[in-house]
Amino acid sequence: MRQLLRDWFDERVGLDLFERMLQKPLPKRGAWFYTLGSATLSLITIQFITGAFLMFYYVPDGEFAASSVRYSTEQVRFGWYLRSLHRWSANLLFIVIGLHMFRVFVSGSFKRPREFTWIIGALIFWTAIGIGLTGGLLPWDANALWIGTVFGNTLSYFPLVGPFLRSALLGGEHVGTLTLTRFYAMHVWVLPLILGVLILLHLYLIRKHGLFGSVVEYRNQIQALEAKGVPRESIIVTKMTPDETEPFYPAQVFRDSIVAFFLISAVSIFSILFPFSYRGEEPPPARIIPRPEWFFWSVDEWLMYFPGRLIPIGLILLTLFFLFLPFIPFVERHPEVSPIRRPVPTIIGAWVYLFIIILAMMAGSRIFNY
């Protein structure tokens, strides 16, 4: 019966394609680290689901946005739960993306021929940041308003084009009705659409090269290098025999499911224990202290170091850092993948992460105490 059903579908939709994809081999060792990517995907899925249902009650209008959020949080059954799920999984998402990027960087998984997987991953990271940024404005409380203002004003420090960028983003001179609708459109449709396309491309490339890809594909290259007289010591990659690998399905899928289960349970538990309530009555204007989302803390702290005329320098350095991310595979081109055998990139990567964490911690202390 099952076989019959399978054949019926196979004839019409071509199941063998998917089956072949599921059978791709990948290394047994360190397989738990490979679950970070699928963990990202499962959190993004949560975002798509909860986000879609949050739209049932949300009104993107300067007058009603706050009231509608309040209504959906306080009156709608499980509204608080959906909203907290959305925000908590957004918070966790950034941690998981950061870990995933670090894992990929350290294990050299972006090396030839997988440069495009990394590039698209970097684009996904940009898009996720954009979604986080635009989403911060939607609750439309006092804090959201100032987030928009500060973001717009930051852009205005770009030389020459700054003021134009600012008003193009905000849809005018200040954060108002037009800002909310365009941020809303970006948050719920434009950027998620881009994100979806990018994720599909990312998955396609992963399946094309396979997690096992590196070694198989490098073998020819290593032989070519050896023929040229390059010392083997400096080009060696981990050798992997078939008995060190296993097919993606079911072992890795099982691991992915375990991780997804734990992550989503964690998000649910956080949502139940620490729900995001509506902020309640707004404080008098003089007491408002704008607080960025924590994943922008390090950026916030970084911008603080550049006073007066130096502000654009800080901003440009920051932009260059983000623009640099997709180009990493073209900067570090040698085929070595082991983090121990290429200590310089490992050390630099560790420094960058350490620096970002330090900045975020200092900003957090500042924000906690002011």
Kindly state the helix (H) or strand (E) to which residue 245 belongs, with its residue range: strand 245-247
164 binds another protein (CB under 8 A): yes
Residue 67 makes contact with another protein by CB under 8 A: no
Interface positions, 2-61, toward another protein (CB under 8 A): none
Whole-angstrom CA distances from 336 to 100, 173, 186 are: 20, 51, 40
Stretch that binds another protein, among 1-9, 125-133, 174-182, 214-222 (CB under 8 A): 174-182
Least distance from C-beta 36 to another protein, angstroms?
21
Interaction of residue 83 with another protein, rule CB under 8 A: no
Determine if 249 is a binding residue for another protein (CB under 8 A): no
Among 45, 91, 149, 257, binds another protein (CB under 8 A): 149
CA 68 to chain centroid: 28
Contact 155, 207 (CB under 8 A): no
Site residues (CB under 8 A) for another protein, limited to 323-342: 340
Can you tell me the distance from the alpha carbon of 100 to that of 121, in angstroms, rounded to the nearest whole number?
10
Pick the piece of the chain touching another protein (CB under 8 A) from 31-39, 52-60, 150-158, 201-209: 150-158
Closest to another protein by CB, 93 or 145? 145
Count of chain residues binding another protein (CB under 8 A)? 59
CA end-to-end span of the chain, whole Å? 67
> What residues have CB less than 8 Å from 122, skipping those under 6 apart?
325, 326, 328
HEC string of 131-161 equals HHHHHCCCCCCHHHHHHHHHHHHHHCCCCCC
State which residue, 20 or 174, has the beta carbon closest to another protein: 174
Residue showing tokens 């649910």: 268
148 Cβ contact list (under 8 Å, min separation 6): 136, 137, 170, 175, 179, 183
203 binds another protein (CB under 8 A): no
Q: How far is the CB of 299 from another protein (least distance, A)?
A: 11
Closest by alpha carbon to 29, among 251, 232, 230? Answer: 251
| Whole-number Å distance between alpha carbons of 258 and 342 | 32
> Whole-angstrom Cα distance, residue 345 to residue 105?
9
Instruction: Determine if the peptide bond prior to 250 is cis (ω within 30°).
Output: yes
Among 150, 201, 225, 236, binds another protein (CB under 8 A): 150
Q: Among 35-43, 113-121, 144-152, 202-210, which window interacts with another protein (CB under 8 A)?
A: 144-152
Residue 163 interacts with another protein (CB under 8 A)? yes
Is 288 a residue that touches another protein (CB under 8 A)? yes
Assess contact for 327 and 121: CB atoms under 8 A.
no
Under DSSP, the state recorded for 29 is T
- Collapsing DSSP to helix, strand or coil, 26 comes out as strand
- The reply on whether position 173 binds another protein by CB under 8 A is yes
Residue among 3, 11, 308, 320 that touches another protein (CB under 8 A)? 308
Does 362 interact with another protein (rule: CB under 8 A)? yes
Could you say whether residue 178 binds another protein (CB under 8 A)? yes
Q: What is the DSSP letter of 286?
A: G
Residue 35 · residue 104 · CB < 8 Å: no
Strand partners, 246: 26
By the rule CB under 8 A, 197 interacts with another protein: no
Binds another protein (CB under 8 A): choice among 98, 130, 171, 349:
171
| Gap between the Cα atoms of 120 and 203, Å rounded | 10
Among 290, 293, 349, 353, binds another protein (CB under 8 A): 290
Examine residue 369 and tell whether it contacts another protein (CB under 8 A). yes
Asked if residue 161 binds another protein (CB under 8 A), the reply is: no
Judged by CB under 8 A, which of 27, 98, 130, 172 binds another protein? 172
Question: Residue 203 or 230: which CB sits closer to another protein?
Answer: 230
Smallest distance, Å, CB 369 to another protein? 4
Q: Which residues bind another protein (CB under 8 A)?
A: 62-63, 146, 149-150, 152-154, 156-157, 162-164, 166-168, 171-174, 176-178, 182, 285-290, 300-301, 303-311, 313, 340, 343-344, 347-348, 351, 354-355, 358, 361-362, 364-366, 368-370
